[in-house]
Every structure is written in structure tokens, then in C-alpha cells.
Structure 1
Amino acid sequence: MASHPIRLRTLLGDYPNTRALRNGELESPLAAFDFADVKVANRAFKKVVREHAFDVAELALVTFLQARAYGKPLVLLPAVVGAGRFQHHCLVHDATRGKLGVAGLAGKRIGIRAYAQTTVTWVRGVLADDYGVDLDAIEWVTFEDGHLAEFPDPAGTRRAPAGATMAQMLFAGELDAAIIGTELPDDPRLQPVLPDPFAAARAWSERHGMLPINHMVALDAGLCRDRPDVVRDIYRLLQESKRRAGAPADGVDMTPFGVEANRRALALLIRYAHEQRLIPRRYEVDELFDDTTRMP
């Protein structure tokens, strides 16, 4: 097999666990990485699935599942990147307008960035599974299109006014709650809807025997077919970049590597996505990988 270096169009966020690769500390004899100049990787996810703009790309997992459903030529690499987190605390409300509990969510307006966002999928799954919430009894207010052009907002959703933010609409009483991930403002008025969310998240994680994951690396299917040696080296580099970041201070590895380390999380997210009508069937975890990327 040829081993000449190839240039790879690459989308990868700047995190502690990717920094050694992004800043050039780590190099491959087989490939050179042309990193996209984007401040936040998720803002380029549409280019991954709509324009086939990258050979190697960080990608939200629900976006990948939908991409698979619509026949996009992508294969998952079992390398979790980004700043992993629990999700229970992401459902918030404006506490100055009174307490909102889980039992009161029916009929309420909940803001979400996009209907098929991975964080939103996790939170809705928790609400339905653990708290018995009827997801169809909620009015979901979206702020942007999903990453897949083939998947528009479903019936029963409403689009927020152009230029509005979830925090603004919460404080104005135009939303009753919102699911906000990394953009959650540090504002004491915004309080979690779920009781004791961090303890609940840890208990949920222990019960399921897994950690919630949001982003993995996706690869061009042609690269996997034609250059398995390069694919294996990409995985090696990502592992080494993570190792150089050091162990997390709390000892909880939120970015596990390998199919088996992520099997339970992927299986649960697949179930949630199917039950929320984001994908047409419940894929088997092994369907997301090929013979090259099915790392132990």
C-alpha cells in the first residue's frame, strides 16, 4: 500500500485534548492536516454534511446519525473530542418568574438551538425516560436550522424571531424554559428545571454505566476505504494528543476512546434519536464504523 503523505481538510476544535495535534506538536509521516480556520467547530458542521468539505471532521453525534440516514459518505471514528459534560443542568428557566418544575413542562414553550441538536436530544431523552414527560406536549422553539438540509423542523415547532436569543426571550417571558449548552450565560436568574441536576446526572450515568458524549470524529468514507493506514495514524495522533492534555482534575474521563468504551452511550443516544423521530430506525452501534475504524 502506498504511504505517500496526503493533505487532509480537517475540522477540529481547539480543546485541551486536541491542542497538541492542532498546534503542530504532533505530526504524521502519512498525512498533513489543513485545519479549518473556525472559532467554534460546530459552526462548520453544516459544511461537513451539506458540502462534504472535510476529510476529517469533529461532528455532533446526532448530526452523524442523521447523515448516515441520508446516505452521506461518512464513517465514525471512536474518538470523543471536545469538552464533555453532563446534560441535566442545561434545561433552565428564569427563576424570577416563579419556580418551574418537571411536572409543569406540559404545554410550555422551550427554546432550543436546533431541533436535532445532540444536547437537546440527550435532555429530551432524560425528560421522557426518567421523568415521564410527554415531549409532544411541549412547544419547541428553534433558533436555527439543523445541520442536515434534508431534515427541516418538524410539525409542532416554531421558529424564534430573527436576532433573538434564548436568554432574552426567557427574561421577557416569551419562553418558559430553554436547553442551553456551552452558551449558558452565567446569570443567577437562570436556574435548572431538574432538581439537583448534577447529582441526578451522576446517578443517571452510574445507572446506565456510561457518560453522555456529544462530539466524535467523522471521516470521509473514501479515506477509510483507500488509506486505512492514514486512518489508524489519525486515531493514534488523537490518542496521543489527549494523553498530553493530562488526566482531568476530577478523575472523570468525559472523552473516552474506542468502540467498547462508548458502546453504551452510543446505543442510548441512538434509541433517544429514534424515539424522537430524528432517525428512521435504531442503528446497531457497529453500523456506525467500518473495519478500519472499529477500534477496541
Structure 2
Amino acid sequence: MALKLSFACWDYDRVKAIEDGRVRPEGIELYFLNYRVEETFFRQLRFHEFDVSELSLSSYTLTLNKEDPPFIAIPVFPSRYFRHQSIYINTKAGIKTPQDLKGKRIGLPEYQMTAPVWQRGIMEEEFGVPMTSVTFFSGAVEPSAIERTSKIPHSLPEGVTVTAITPDQNLSQMLADGEIDALFTAYKPSSFDTSDHVTHLFPNFREIEAEYYKRTKIFPIMHVIALKRNVYEANPWIARSLQKAFAKSLDVAYEALAERSALRYMLPWLEEHVEQTKTLMGDVRWWEDGFEENRHVLEKFLEYHHKQGLSKRRFKAEELFAPNTLEAFVL
């Protein structure tokens, strides 16, 4: 009899075949719950509602600080994103280059959020903007958003200042009004479309991100798939079964992108975009799960996470995952 497990995740193209049942993990009956990431993260981190779920890489890593970590991950990464393009500035703040961020007021939804971890790390390492050289303000990006508070307690390194905005404030409007000078986020603030004073830090972000990838081979990981640790410990085999199912589902997503008889997606020049991506990131697979393939990305993230005061120690990449999922396999 198959083991019944709940699985909360957004319905990305790379998991769609699992959601609709075209791919089924061996020995497991998955009950797919299609939630936006904010709901999944909140409910799982606060209440441990789901047997398997998508989780923020940073939040998941924070849980490893606990004596008895509640989750254990598998090397499957449903969300990846270059984040240079998600840094916004007020054009009146005198910011012409990344180095001009020094001394500025920077908003972010949560200090521990994965996107700002990458953004702070890149700004410091690549452009010489230390975290201690700016002042951070945290809270809701939009007026309609719920008040942002960290889902997991964490510390701050010496010299780093984070001030919570008030419930009647929002970072998008604060950026437009010049109350903050820049915004590190995962979301495009609405003021980008409504204010003449909000723009990208990197207007040519595609070229900047392409150069970053060519030089580092890092395609930043945002989210990971995590299992409740007690469920995993009672059934260690499920980690490998799920890993194989996600690999098959990823194959299905690649097949859909390659289809040319009719457009599967509402993008008229999809083929050109795919070819450009392959030229930059690899002729076959530019989005790849697995441990060894992503060790360098994970190690860089863990370096940033620890330096930013979020990890109690510098975790090794291997410590993030179920031991039986570290080795490659052939489908």
C-alpha cells in the first residue's frame, strides 16, 4: 500500500507532472496542495502542516540551528532566480553605481529572506558594499500585504542595523517617497510602475546577470524541497523516491519547452529565448537539480548566510540534505 503524503508547492512547470499525476513517486501517494509560496512557508514553518513542502532556502537553513531540526531537505530546487534585477532604487538618492549604496537606507521584506541574502552577499563581495555600511528597514512591500515578521528567530551580526517599519507603512511607497533609497526584494514593487523616481539599480540587468553567471557558474537557488524530519526518519526511502520523481517531472518540463508544433506557452519567441539561454548556460540543461551539480551554488549561499549572522556556524553543503540523496542516479 502506498504511503500517503501531503505536498505543498506552487504549480511550477517543473513540478506540473507531479501535480497532475503524470509522474508518481514510487511507493508514495502524494496529495498536491497548490499554494503560493508565502502561504506554504508561513504554514510549514509555524505549524509544520505538510509532510513535504517547498521552503525558502534561507528559512530552511535557519531551522538547522535548532537542537532538533524539524525538516530535512532533498537536492531539488523548485525556484531559482538571478537577483541583480530585483534591486530597486530611488532616482533622487544619488545612486549611479552599486558602490553608491554605501550610507543609504535599504528596505527589505525580511532580513532572513533568501533573495536579500544573495543580494547582500553579492553587493559586498562583488561591489564592495559591506552590510555595516547601510541601514536596513524591514516590512511589507505593498500596502495590501500582511505585516512582515521573521518566521524564525535569528540574530544579527555586530554592526548591522535593521529597523521594522510601522504597520501603516510599506516599502514600495517609502521608496517612491524617498523615505528609503533602495529596495532589496524578490518582488517588483508597484511603485516601479507608478512612480517616475523608482527604477532598477542595474538597468542592463540581463547583461550583468549573464556576466555573473559566465564568471561564477552560479544560478542562485531560492527554494528547496523539504520533508518533515520525523516522516523521513520513519521512512528514509521516501527521500530517494521523491528525488527520482522530481527528476522525471523536470524532464517533462524540458520536453514541453522543446515542443514546436504548437506553442505550449504564450511566448511568441520562446524558441529564441531558449536558444539564448542554452548558449549562455549550457546546450542541454540549464536548470538542474542534484547535489554535486549545485555544490558550488550551495556553498556560496552558506558562506553568505553564516557571514550575515543567520547560521550558528558555517554549514557544509552536505548537511542540508538527506544522506541517501547526495549521490547521482540514472532514471
TM-score, normalization by structure 2? 0.80
Residue ranges of structure 1 left out of the alignment (5+ in a row): none
Contact 2:5/2:30 (8 A) holds in 1: yes
| Cα distance change of structure 1 residues 9 and 153 upon mapping to structure 2, 3 Å threshold | farther
Instruction: Using the TM superposition, give the Cα deviation of residue 290 of structure 1 relative to its aligned residue in structure 2, in angstroms.
Output: 2.7
Residue number among 176, 179, 186 corresponding to 1:174 in the alignment: 179
| Cα distance change of structure 1 residues 36 and 161 upon mapping to structure 2, 3 Å threshold | same
* 3-state SS, counterpart of residue 57 of structure 1: strand
2-structure distance, mates of 1:44, 1:218? 12
Instruction: Using the TM superposition, give the Cα deviation of residue 284 of structure 1 relative to its aligned residue in structure 2, in angstroms.
Output: 0.9
Match of 1:19 in 2: 16
Deviations 1:49-89 (A, max 9, x none): 3322221111111111101112422111001103x221112
1-structure distance, mates of 2:290, 2:6? 23
Alignment length, in residue pairs? 290
2-structure distance, mates of 1:205, 1:283? 24
Q: Which deviates more from structure 2 when the two are superposed, residues 191-200 or residues 124-133?
A: 191-200
Residue number among 33, 37, 59 corresponding to 1:63 in the alignment: 59
1-structure distance, mates of 2:95, 2:306? 31
Match of 2:6 in 1: 9
Instruction: Using the TM superposition, give the Cα deviation of residue 282 of structure 1 relative to its aligned residue in structure 2, in angstroms.
Output: 0.7
Match of 2:154 in 1: 151
* 3-state SS, counterpart of residue 141 of structure 1: strand
| One-letter amino acid of the structure 1 residue matched with residue 154 of structure 2 | F
| Cα distance change of structure 1 residues 37 and 213 upon mapping to structure 2, 3 Å threshold | closer
- CA RMSD after TM alignment: 2.3
% identical equivalent positions: 23
* 3-state SS, counterpart of residue 76 of structure 2: strand
| One-letter amino acid of the structure 2 residue matched with residue 16 of structure 1 | D
Contact 1:145/1:153 (8 A) holds in 2: no
Contact 2:106/2:183 (8 A) holds in 1: yes
Residue number among 27, 42, 66 corresponding to 2:38 in the alignment: 42
| One-letter amino acid of the structure 1 residue matched with residue 234 of structure 2 | D
| One-letter amino acid of the structure 2 residue matched with residue 124 of structure 1 | R
| Cα distance change of structure 1 residues 218 and 255 upon mapping to structure 2, 3 Å threshold | farther
* 3-state SS, counterpart of residue 246 of structure 1: helix
2-structure distance, mates of 1:48, 1:237? 22
Residue number among 172, 183, 206 corresponding to 2:214 in the alignment: 206
| One-letter amino acid of the structure 2 residue matched with residue 151 of structure 1 | H
Residue ranges of structure 2 left out of the alignment (5+ in a row): 140-147, 258-273
Match of 1:232 in 2: 240
| Cα distance change of structure 1 residues 292 and 122 upon mapping to structure 2, 3 Å threshold | same
Match of 1:52 in 2: 48
TM-score, normalization by structure 1? 0.89
Contact 2:52/2:228 (8 A) holds in 1: yes
Instruction: Using the TM superposition, give the Cα deviation of residue 29 of structure 1 relative to its aligned residue in structure 2, in angstroms.
Output: 4.8
| One-letter amino acid of the structure 1 residue matched with residue 317 of structure 2 | V
2-structure distance, mates of 1:239, 1:45? 23
| One-letter amino acid of the structure 2 residue matched with residue 24 of structure 1 | G
Match of 2:268 in 1: none
Residue number among 271, 290, 295 corresponding to 2:322 in the alignment: 290
2-structure distance, mates of 1:147, 1:204? 31
Instruction: Using the TM superposition, give the Cα deviation of residue 292 of structure 1 relative to its aligned residue in structure 2, in angstroms.
Output: 1.8
* 3-state SS, counterpart of residue 191 of structure 1: strand
| One-letter amino acid of the structure 1 residue matched with residue 17 of structure 2 | A
1-structure distance, mates of 2:42, 2:287? 23
Instruction: Using the TM superposition, give the Cα deviation of residue 276 of structure 1 relative to its aligned residue in structure 2, in angstroms.
Output: 0.7
| One-letter amino acid of the structure 2 residue matched with residue 273 of structure 1 | H
1-structure distance, mates of 2:317, 2:286? 19
Match of 1:131 in 2: 127
Contact 1:146/1:153 (8 A) holds in 2: no
Match of 1:141 in 2: 137
